[in-house]
Amino acid sequence: MSKLATPGVLTIGTVEENWTGDARFYEYTTAADPVGSGIISPIPAQEFGPELYTTGETRVVTLDLAQYLGTKYPATSPSLLASFLRINSGDSLETKPNATSELYYVISGAGASLVNDQTISWKQGDFFTLPAGSVSRHTAVQDSTIYYILDTPLLDYLGVKATEARFAPTLFTAEHAKEKLDEVAHAPDAHLKNRISILLNNQKFDQTLTITHTLWAMLGIVPVGANQAPHSHKSVALDFVAYAAPGTYTLVGDKVDPVTAEIIDPIRIDWVTGKAFVTPPGLWHSHHNESGEPAFIIPIQDAGLQTYLRTLDIQFTHYNKE
């Protein structure tokens, strides 16, 4: 027979278990803002060059920042994991992640994915998303590279398994994406917009208007000579440079001059075609193109989740300065 001998101690025969060992108490002001106080680790503005995946054997190149984030599992941000997939012609890679959402952007090449006995054909410039429970075999018919995003770290943090497919596999073709981006870029008021971009949406998510219920994806153009004004949001952006000539870059910083609306003491991230970089949450960032060619950027974020939670808090300064 069991009995509670003293508060917090359960007596079972002669064995006593102390359940209070992990309990702690903090005065409110010392613990209410672990981000601002530096108790929780910051998210670095890390860069990953195309040399990581453009040559070599078929493999997965994980963009793992666990050492900076303090996680015991691979993560590129607290909720997302980015990787590059390289699949040489005739080779295959298998994926079976614990994730509610998988997002693939085909950087180069062509092939097909067998997903739960259904086939999705893909080529350069295509996006496709897969839901929870996807068991996939990706086979290349040309040497192929793919930018691959998962929300596995979010599930790892929560200690849960994804069991329900919230959407069907969905393909966003390169042709359709280009057509829609061209429409936006050639609109009469395009020069007045802070970003010339399209957002990819699965109609299942008609409240958040995002590509999955956790992920947000954008395809944007930075025209020649553009200086896109700073903006900020609370989601981490895992940015991929689809194309850029030298002289295109992003400025990132935590403060904006109230008069000029320019970022104060920013760090500069130069764009290179095929490069990925992390834009930390809450920081102001602006894109600039001093090259002679249009540049294209693909930010992927956990903003589907952030939008649903009503915490994205996207903010803009004034419009472009040409």
Q: Mention every residue, 6+ apart, whose C-beta is less than 8 A from residue 48.
A: 63, 84, 275, 276, 277
**Check: CATH 2.60.120.10 for 174-316?**
yes
Q: What is the CATH number of domain 47-172?
A: 2.60.120.10
pLDDT, tens only, 146-200: 999 999 999 999 999 999 999 999 999 999 999 999 999 999 988 878 789 999 9
How far apart are the C-alpha atoms of 275 and 270, rounded to whole Å? 9
R_g (Cα) of the chain, nearest Å: 22
pLDDT, tens only, 100-125: 999 999 999 999 999 999 999 999 99
User: pLDDT tier at 10 (50, 70, 90 boundaries)?
Assistant: low
Can you give the pLDDT at residue 2? 47
Q: Mention every residue, 6+ apart, whose C-beta is less than 8 A from residue 7.
A: none
pLDDT, tens only, 308-318: 999 999 888 86
Residue type at position 47: E
**Could you state, in order of their start, the residue ranges of all structural domains in the chain?**
47-172, 174-316
Residue whose entry in the numeric block shows the structure tokens 């130069």: 270
Q: In this structure, what token pair is assigned to residue 159?
A: 């200690």
The answer to whether 47-172 and 174-316 have equal CATH topology is yes
Contact 132, 100 (CB under 8 A): yes
Contact 263, 252 (CB under 8 A): yes
Nearest Cα residue to 98 out of 191, 163, 24, 19? 163
How far apart are the C-alpha atoms of 62 and 202, rounded to whole Å? 26
